[in-house]
Chain A
Amino acid sequence: MEQITILEGRQKQIFEKKKGVAQPDIACDTSSLSGSVSQRACVFCGSRVVLYPIADAIHVVHGPIGCAAYTWDIRGAVSSGPELHRLSFSTDLQEMDVIYGGEKKLYHSLIELIEQYKPKAAFIYSTCIVGLIGDDIDAVCKKVAKECGIPVLPVHSEGFKGTKKDGYKAACHALMKLIGTGSTEEISKYSINILGEFNLAGEAWIIRQYYEKMGIEVVATLTGDGRIDAVRQAHGATLNVVQCSGSMTWLAKEMEAKYGIPYIRVSYFGIEDMSKSLYDVAKYFPDRLDIMEAAKEVVSEEVKSLYPSLQKFKKALTGKKAAIYVGGAFKTFSLIKALRSIGMSVVLAGSQTGDKNDYARLKEMCDEGTVIVDDSNPVELSKFILEKEADLLIGGVKERPIAFKLGIGFCDHNHERKIPLAGFVGMYNFALEVYQSVMSPVWQFAPRKGGTL
């Protein structure tokens, strides 16, 4: 294949695992170079995806129309009841607002909206220019909250003020203001919050059901199928169970400091990690052996039916190679294990937002020769996919057509998954989707992997 250059200044964000060679730590947690075709997004995006699934609140984007338009119902975070989160509200700031300020417009918009939709709370996202024109959205929120009698929470998510991770933090900051304002009287001692599970394709329901089968009460899911009242009570839970390390660890730490609630990190992808996430919760309640018994039962029952059905996929996929490029690093760990369980190896692993510890762990987990990247771009992804002869790419919306152009399979492990990939049933779905894409008959007709037909 043609030689592709790695962007200068990016070398430190890429390495290949090699035996016996001392390797420096990967550089990460930095903002992207100017001029790169980065796959990353901004602070606002981070806040928006975290809070979006709260379905009985209105989410108002204070800024020009684009930020609201591009985030209108793009995340399949499903709700079992209200669906206010799927609408798009914007102050649609105009030139005059930029000059004279948008506070008044925001105020009127909120009053109109709250009257129309009667939400349980309102989240107000500030976008890039709000940070520049100096609107005091805190003051507007306070005023509206007082007049309307519901929580009106500013989310300081100006796009340029950091990376997507800072957006997660701004969202968690807003959540912290809600947590602790509800009653915890009736909450059992054997209770948890599920953090960092967004109910894409109904995944939170699956996870919740497992815990409930174990006799655990789930107080709040943050934020999948989220409700304001549940968030307000979240401080009543005994344990925080955190998935998606990038977005919610900060909140877990805050809750630990403020309410003394400890947290554990889990993942619901793949048999191994899914089982562990049930056992780890059970272990936390040692005085109730029945909880561990129930966890074992859930796992054994699920695995019994799942394991045989995976064998067909494993047989076909053994020896195939995968490339992973997803948002959070934690997901990558699970995916490596899940792929191994269906016979596939990982030749490229990367994330948009991983930190030093994540990458150290990734290095440990990966096979020799695996390329590890932080904040990659399409040139690099294509280069490594071809060099390492991957048969599958796991990524998000912008990566999908690249995989297909290269003639390899694809699995969306991001917002656009259409079937649940979490839980035991999710492992089956994942294997099925990978199998169908990698083994698709279309590849018989397509030139593949940089070559000809």
Chain B
Amino acid sequence: MLLRHTSKEVKEREGLTINPAKTCQPIGAMYAALGIHGCLPHSHGSQGCCSYHRSTLTRHYKEPVMAATSSFTEGASVFGGQANLLAAIETIFSVYEPDIIAVHSTCLSETIGDDLQQITRKAKDDGKVPEGKHVIFASTPSFIGSHVTGYANMVAGIAAQFPVSTGLKKNQYNIIAGWMEPSDMREVKRLSKELGVKIVLFPDTSDVLDAPQTGKHVFYPKGGTTIAELQSAGDSLASLALGPISAEPAAIALEKGCKVPFETLDIPIGLSATDRFIMALSKVASVQVPDEITAERGRLVDVMADMEQYLYGKRVALFGDPDQLFPLTEFLLDLNMKPVHIVSGTPGQRFEKQMRQLLDERSPETNFRNGLQADMFLLHQWMKNEPVDLLIGNTYGKYMARDEDVPFIRFGFPILDRIGHSYFPSVGYGGGLRLVEKILNALMDRQDRDALEEKFELVM
């Protein structure tokens, strides 16, 4: 047993994190920047950071992931990284020819005090940014927040640096994507189209990180939000931010910069969160919900009813990122299941507040914790004390699932050992249906595996 050393007794730890339920900011910034068309993410730090982020994203998506690095050396860390970044910007535009470079910082460049705003401005002033090309930036120190914070910061950077308000409003709405899979972004676009609402979705990694095989390796795949779309976002009538932690900061930036009002929603995972998303979009754009979407909803509810006897009371432990955990927990409650333990490595009081709100009435005894030392070691200890029927989380959950012999559903980031997440959405009613199917398969396969012969049932 790989985790044989995990003790049952939970002790407060002073500094140590064991088996983290998070990673650092820059990878989130890199992922967000990949959702802009023609954009090359740039990591302002040591070479290793960029390499690790690209490798992790590649393992998660099985796709090439392109990003450049400032390749810090000892000199750069003494004299500052300005020269490296200026040189990098020049090289990138002349060799890799992106439309946009999205620079994010690292713990190293933040600690030595590099000011990305000042350096990128200098690059423009010095004529290192060709006409019609852009350099944007986000400050993403690894010692604050988590990968989710990095994503939020880069999306906020995009929202602050591209949209312009021309004074003429456009009949369109912004949807700011929280950390979702390409499949989810594709689904959000489909649902908006069904509703007949014109949207600008950003970032949008569909057709970037789920690109088809073409016989070519292209640096800038066809997907991603375009510059024109991003600029027009300043003239949109309103924004919907999908994700209080990962998307709202961008909506705030856009309101500040271009006076576009916004509403924050959960990522539409599961029935209730999807209901709120569809209602919000139909209300803000004054459109009727079409029959097709109502039917999609009906199919999900139908399955929830059909299978309720296999779901009720089932105890679930889940871990991951706040914006996914909120609607997922709510969905489990809607399915009459029992969220028992919830852990997120991403710090911030909003997690505590929103979870409490969600659980206070419906499941007050649920254990939840986020931030420092809210890691998988703690979750595993909790599971040893109060066992569960199902574990939901990213790939790293497989150790706990194996040791405790608990059915396991992969959900979240990163998923390094299965495919599907980039192709099949978990948002929308269809995504809810997929989640229910996964949950049922995990539980019922286990039931079949463990059933005594006389109780081994054909019809379930």
Task: Return chain B residues, CB-CB under 8 Å to A132.
Answer: 77, 108, 111-112
Cβ contact of A42, chosen from B2, B5, B48, B54, cutoff 8 A: B48
Determine how close the nearest CB of chain A comes to the CB of B118; give it in whole angstroms: 17
- C-alpha gap A68/B66 in the complex (Å): 22
Cβ contact of A34, chosen from B84, B94, B211, cutoff 8 A: B84
- Contact indicator A404/B143 (Cβ below 8 Å): no
Q: A36-B71, A92-B17, A95-B144 are in contact. Are A160 and B215 (CB under 8 A)?
A: no
Determine how close the nearest CB of chain A comes to the CB of B415; give it in whole angstroms: 14
- Contact indicator A70/B56 (Cβ below 8 Å): yes
- Contact indicator B58/A398 (Cβ below 8 Å): yes
- Contact indicator A379/B213 (Cβ below 8 Å): no
Cβ-based interface call for A32 (8 A)? yes
Against B, the Cβ 8 Å flags (1 = close, 0 = not) of A270-286 are 00000000000000000
Against B, the Cβ 8 Å flags (1 = close, 0 = not) of A433-453 are 000000000000011111111
Cβ contact of B345, chosen from A34, A65, A133, A405, cutoff 8 A: A65
- C-alpha gap A63/B45 in the complex (Å): 14
- Contact indicator A69/B22 (Cβ below 8 Å): yes
Cβ contact of A404, chosen from B3, B76, B94, B213, cutoff 8 A: B213
| CB within 8 Å of A: which B75-117 residues | 76-77, 84-85, 87-92, 94-96, 106-108, 111-112
- Contact indicator B143/A129 (Cβ below 8 Å): yes
- Contact indicator B62/A42 (Cβ below 8 Å): no
- C-alpha gap A33/B64 in the complex (Å): 21
Cβ-based interface call for B63 (8 A)? yes
- Contact indicator B67/A37 (Cβ below 8 Å): yes
B86's nearest neighbour on chain A, judged by CB, is: A34
Among A106-114, A179-187, A249-257, the stretch in contact with B = A106-114
- C-alpha gap A37/B91 in the complex (Å): 10
Determine how close the nearest CB of chain A comes to the CB of B24; give it in whole angstroms: 3
Task: Return chain A residues, CB-CB under 8 Å to B48.
Answer: 41-45, 67, 159
Against A, the Cβ 8 Å flags (1 = close, 0 = not) of B1-34 are 0110101000001111111101111110000000
Cβ-based interface call for A20 (8 A)? no
Cβ-based interface call for B46 (8 A)? yes
Determine how close the nearest CB of chain B comes to the CB of A85; give it in whole angstroms: 10
Number of A-B contacts (CB under 8 A): 257
- C-alpha gap A65/B16 in the complex (Å): 11
| CB within 8 Å of A: which B57-77 residues | 58-59, 62-74, 76-77
- Contact indicator B14/A112 (Cβ below 8 Å): yes
- C-alpha gap A131/B45 in the complex (Å): 14
- Contact indicator A129/B47 (Cβ below 8 Å): no
Cβ-based interface call for A206 (8 A)? no
Determine how close the nearest CB of chain B comes to the CB of A158; give it in whole angstroms: 8
- C-alpha gap A211/B64 in the complex (Å): 40
Task: Return chain B residues, CB-CB under 8 Å to A447.
Answer: 213-216
Cβ contact of B91, chosen from A35, A159, A400, cutoff 8 A: A35
Determine how close the nearest CB of chain A comes to the CB of B446; give it in whole angstroms: 25
Q: A8-B95, A379-B219 are in contact. Are A69 and B84 (CB under 8 A)?
A: no
| CB within 8 Å of B: which A55-78 residues | 63-72, 74
In the complex, which of the residues B26, B87, B111, B211 has the most CB atoms of chain A within 10 Å of its own CB atom? B111
- Contact indicator B13/A112 (Cβ below 8 Å): yes
B5's nearest neighbour on chain A, judged by CB, is: A117
- Contact indicator A64/B143 (Cβ below 8 Å): yes
Cβ contact of A108, chosen from B15, B42, B70, cutoff 8 A: B15
- Contact indicator A65/B146 (Cβ below 8 Å): yes
- Contact indicator A406/B16 (Cβ below 8 Å): no
- Contact indicator A95/B143 (Cβ below 8 Å): yes
Determine how close the nearest CB of chain A comes to the CB of B249; give it in whole angstroms: 18
Determine how close the nearest CB of chain A comes to the CB of B50; give it in whole angstroms: 8
- Contact indicator B76/A129 (Cβ below 8 Å): no
Task: Return chain B residues, CB-CB under 8 Å to A108.
Answer: 14-16
Determine how close the nearest CB of chain A comes to the CB of B296; give it in whole angstroms: 32
Cβ-based interface call for B312 (8 A)? no
Q: A87-B18, A132-B77 are in contact. Are A35 and B87 (CB under 8 A)?
A: yes
Determine how close the nearest CB of chain B comes to the CB of A204; give it in whole angstroms: 20
How many residues of A are counted as interface, with CB atoms below 8 angstroms from the partner's CB atoms? 83
- Contact indicator A41/B90 (Cβ below 8 Å): no
- C-alpha gap A35/B47 in the complex (Å): 10
| CB within 8 Å of B: which A253-271 residues | none
Cβ-based interface call for A161 (8 A)? yes
- Contact indicator B16/A89 (Cβ below 8 Å): yes
Cβ-based interface call for B141 (8 A)? yes
B92's nearest neighbour on chain A, judged by CB, is: A35
Determine how close the nearest CB of chain B comes to the CB of A210; give it in whole angstroms: 29
Task: Return chain A residues, CB-CB under 8 Å to B76.
Answer: 160
- Contact indicator B96/A37 (Cβ below 8 Å): yes
- Contact indicator B58/A34 (Cβ below 8 Å): no
Task: Return chain A residues, CB-CB under 8 Å to B62.
Answer: 400-401
Cβ-based interface call for B272 (8 A)? no
Cβ-based interface call for A97 (8 A)? yes
Cβ-based interface call for A217 (8 A)? no
- Contact indicator A65/B88 (Cβ below 8 Å): no
Against B, the Cβ 8 Å flags (1 = close, 0 = not) of A225-260 are 000000000000000000000000000000000000
Task: Return chain A residues, CB-CB under 8 Å to B27.
Answer: 66
Against B, the Cβ 8 Å flags (1 = close, 0 = not) of A129-162 are 1011100000000000000000000000001111
- Contact indicator B20/A68 (Cβ below 8 Å): yes
- C-alpha gap A400/B58 in the complex (Å): 9
Cβ-based interface call for A126 (8 A)? no
Q: A93-B143, A98-B143, A398-B54 are in contact. Are A33 and B216 (CB under 8 A)?
A: no
Task: Return chain B residues, CB-CB under 8 Å to A68.
Answer: 17, 20
A405's nearest neighbour on chain B, judged by CB, is: B217
Cβ contact of B52, chosen from A66, A131, A160, A161, cutoff 8 A: A66
- C-alpha gap A183/B175 in the complex (Å): 67
Cβ-based interface call for B49 (8 A)? yes
- Contact indicator A35/B17 (Cβ below 8 Å): no
- C-alpha gap A161/B108 in the complex (Å): 12
- Contact indicator A88/B219 (Cβ below 8 Å): no
- C-alpha gap A131/B112 in the complex (Å): 11
Cβ-based interface call for B372 (8 A)? yes
- Contact indicator A405/B143 (Cβ below 8 Å): no
Task: Return chain A residues, CB-CB under 8 Å to B213.
Answer: 404-405, 407, 446-447
A104's nearest neighbour on chain B, judged by CB, is: B15
Cβ contact of A45, chosen from B2, B52, B73, B88, cutoff 8 A: B52
- Contact indicator A159/B108 (Cβ below 8 Å): yes
- C-alpha gap A62/B276 in the complex (Å): 43
Cβ contact of B24, chosen from A40, A69, A382, cutoff 8 A: A69
- Contact indicator B47/A38 (Cβ below 8 Å): yes
Cβ-based interface call for A300 (8 A)? no
- C-alpha gap A209/B25 in the complex (Å): 45
Task: Return chain B residues, CB-CB under 8 Å to A104.
Answer: 15
- Contact indicator B74/A397 (Cβ below 8 Å): no
Cβ-based interface call for B51 (8 A)? yes
Task: Return chain A residues, CB-CB under 8 Å to B219.
Answer: 378-379
Cβ-based interface call for B142 (8 A)? yes
B residues with CB within 8 A of A: 2-3, 5, 7, 13-20, 22-27, 40, 42, 45-56, 58-59, 62-74, 76-77, 84-85, 87-92, 94-96, 106-108, 111-112, 141-144, 146, 211, 213-217, 219, 345, 372, 396
Besides A66-B27, A67-B24, 13 other CB < 8 A contacts?
A: A35-B71, A36-B68, A39-B51, A45-B48, A68-B20, A89-B18, A93-B107, A162-B74, A378-B217, A405-B64, A407-B215, A446-B213, A447-B215
5 contacts between A and B (CB under 8 A): A64-B24, A71-B52, A132-B112, A160-B108, A405-B213
A residues with CB within 8 A of B: 5, 7-8, 31-45, 63-72, 74, 83-84, 86-95, 97-98, 104-106, 108-109, 112-113, 116-117, 127-129, 131-133, 159-163, 378-379, 382, 397-398, 400-402, 404-407, 446-453
Top 6 nearest A-B pairs (CB, nearest first) are A42-B48, A66-B24, A35-B88, A447-B215, A35-B91, A105-B15
